[in-house]
Amino acid sequence: MKPIVKIYASCILLTLATVSFAQPSVVPPPQNVVQLSASAALEVPHDWLALAMSTSRDGTDAQAVQAQLKTALDAALTEARSSAQPGALQVRTGNFTLTPRRGRDGHINGWQGSAELLLEGRDFARISAAAGRIQTLTVASAAFGLSREQQAAVESQVQAQAIERFKLRATDIAKAFGFAGYSLREVNVSSSEPNQPRPRFLAMAASNASMDAALPVEAGKATVQVTVSGAVQLK
């Protein structure tokens, strides 16, 4: 039994020695690889308006302040819903806050709160007319942008242009260096999102005067840009 044990141990030592002397394979660095990028952009009119209306109340009794805010918001909701239409004018409530007001001694001496209503959609005339009829809230802000459908459609168009420019540039570079063509190694496609947040923000001073006419609004334009970047192997 002893000779068998000795031979087995020798085999293990020989195997370990062989592994320890094995050399790792060396990967040669890539040759004839070019990094490049191409972009395309398109300017399109804004087709989405987000308008915020709000009001604030102040008083010594929290329940009374809350009731006043609720009454003002309910009246505004009733008026806005009469003009609501999917896609054209969508109505939803925004922030509703009620916080204590403290004196110099740190004790609560009153309450203040605010309520917000949001009107948004594609029909600018309908939205501005609805805002003009609401008497219990005043305009706090208006922001223009692109609807999700418009953003997706334009982005798809611009992306196709950017990819085509990337391919043409890669072909030109390959020919300039004396190669017949190229193959893609890696590629990245990125795009701007001008409607998150809205690219153009129009602050409007709220007034206590009632608005008996449609709110004047005028949309601008948004630029959608797509960039294609990556590496190509010249061949």
- Encode pLDDT of 19-46 as tens digits: 455 566 677 778 899 999 999 999 999 9
Nearest-angstrom CA–CA distance, 172 and 12: 59
Query: What is the pLDDT at residue 38?
Result: 96
Nearest-angstrom CA–CA distance, 55 and 58: 11
Does residue 38 fall inside a structural domain? no
Does residue 207 fall inside a structural domain? yes
Nearest-angstrom CA–CA distance, 4 and 112: 93
95 phi and psi, to 5 degrees?
-70, 140
CB atoms within 10 A of CB 227: 18
Q: Which two tokens stand for residue 170?
A: 């890669």
Does residue 205 fall inside a structural domain? yes
Between 57 and 213, the higher pLDDT residue: 57
Query: What is the pLDDT at residue 29?
Result: 77
Query: What is the pLDDT at residue 23?
Result: 60
Does residue 228 fall inside a structural domain? no
CB hemisphere CA count around 7 (13 angstroms): 4
pLDDT tens per residue, range 46-60: 999 999 999 999 999
Nearest-angstrom CA–CA distance, 148 and 50: 13
Nearest-angstrom CA–CA distance, 6 and 54: 91
Does residue 204 fall inside a structural domain? yes
In the chain, the number of structural domains is 1
pLDDT band at 90 (very low <50, low <70, confident <90, very high): very high
CATH of the domain at 137: 3.30.70
Reported as type and span, the H/E element at residue 111 is: strand 108-121
Between 135 and 208, the higher pLDDT residue: 135
Does residue 142 fall inside a structural domain? yes
Does residue 151 fall inside a structural domain? no
**Nearest partner of 98 among 55, 130, 141, 136, judged by Cα:** 55
pLDDT tens per residue, range 97-113: 999 999 888 889 999 99
Does residue 16 fall inside a structural domain? no
pLDDT band at 209 (very low <50, low <70, confident <90, very high): very low
Domain that holds residue 119: 47-146+196-220
